[in-house]
Amino acid sequence: MKIAMWSGPRNLSTAMMYAFGNRPDCAVVDEPFYAAYLSMTGLDHPMRRQILAAQVQNPNAVAEALSGAHPNGKTVFYQKHMTQHMIEGVPRNWMRDVTNVFLIRHPARVIASYTAKRENPTLSDIGFAQQADLFDLVTSWGHKPVVIDSHDIRERPREMIEKLCDAIGLDFDPNMLIWPKGGHAQDGVWAPHWYGSVWESTGFAGAEGPLPQVPNELESVLKSALPHYEKMRSAKLF
């Protein structure tokens, strides 16, 4: 089984990769299109030079690898993807042959978390519009995308991970609820900049509090992101 998990940044995506990565039957890959995205856009992200050096920059070669044999002969191949990386020129046909899951989070929480690491995110930076487009694409193929909200996972981790496994036809493994402190061997080279808190974790953090206040200058980003979030939220697992 190949699982493509689609989310924007600051969305429990790394913790979910650690959860699947702690299954003995599962190989994982961390944001395989990141270098291609940076190369194609010219964007100046933290650790850009190291990312470009560490990953394949040809998106077609990346897609071919994602469609190929599972690493290390594992029966499950979990792919952590950022929706904002799927710009024009990045292939999508390979997505027909994987189980697509959409991990969502309220945009106010995403914006608050993102601004702690990188200032003034745009709607494009946080990936909500791209996530909704990919959701529509998968739906247009006659597939029923699975949607899960990170808020629900943090509130009820075992229940929601069990529901996710059931929805994608995978046996639940309790190892998914814990992982060793210090990160995963497959963490991207960018991990030191972004993964500090999750490196200190050994499982999912507790339930989230009230929605944070978004700075006035980012209210327009929140307003633009909300319809995309609400659209996918209506299809989420409960």
pLDDT of 119 strictly over 80 = no
Gap between the Cα atoms of 47 and 57, Å rounded: 15
Q: How far apart are CA 37 and CA 202, in angstroms?
A: 30
Task: Determine, yes or no, domain membership for 19.
Answer: yes
Among 65-74, 108-117, 141-150, 160-169, the range scoring the smallest mean pLDDT is: 108-117
* Structure-block tokens of residue 172: 């639940």
3-state secondary structure of 218: helix
Pairing of strands 2-7, 99-104: parallel
70, part of any domain:
yes
Closest C-alpha among 42, 2, 41, 38 to residue 20:
2
**So what's the pLDDT on residue 73?**
96
77 has pLDDT over 90? yes
Query: What band does 117 get if pLDDT is binned at 50, 70 and 90?
Result: confident
Tell me the β-bridge partners of 227: none
Q: Is residue 105 part of a domain?
A: yes
Tokens of 192: 């030191």
Summarised one tens digit per residue, pLDDT across range 148-190 is 999 999 999 999 999 999 999 999 999 999 999 999 999 999 9
Classify residue 75: in a domain, yes or no. yes
- Residue 71 has a pLDDT of 97
Q: Is residue 140 part of a domain?
A: yes
The answer to the question of residue 80 being in a domain is: yes
Of 7, 6, 215, 217, residue with least CA distance to 105? 7
Q: For residue 216, how many other CB atoms are within 10 A of its CB?
A: 7
The total of structural domains in the chain comes to: 1
Please give the structure tokens belonging to residue 77.
């191949």
pLDDT at 230: 97
- Does the CA dihedral 62-68-73-75 come out positive or negative? positive
Is the pLDDT at 116 greater than 90? The verdict is no
The pLDDT score that the predictor gives to residue 120 is: 83
Q: Which domain holds residue 45?
A: 2-233
**Percent of the chain scoring above 70 in pLDDT:** 100
Which has more pLDDT, 115 or 137? 137
pLDDT digits (tens, 9 = 90+) for 179-220: 999 999 999 999 999 999 999 999 999 999 999 999 999 999
Averaged confidence pLDDT in the chain: 96
Residue 6 belongs to a domain with what CATH number? Answer: 3.40.50.300
63 inside domain? yes
Q: How confident is the model at residue 118 (pLDDT cuts 50, 70, 90)?
A: confident
Per-residue pLDDT at 236: 98
Say how far apart CA 38 and CA 204 lie, in whole Å.
30
Structural domain contains residue 238: no
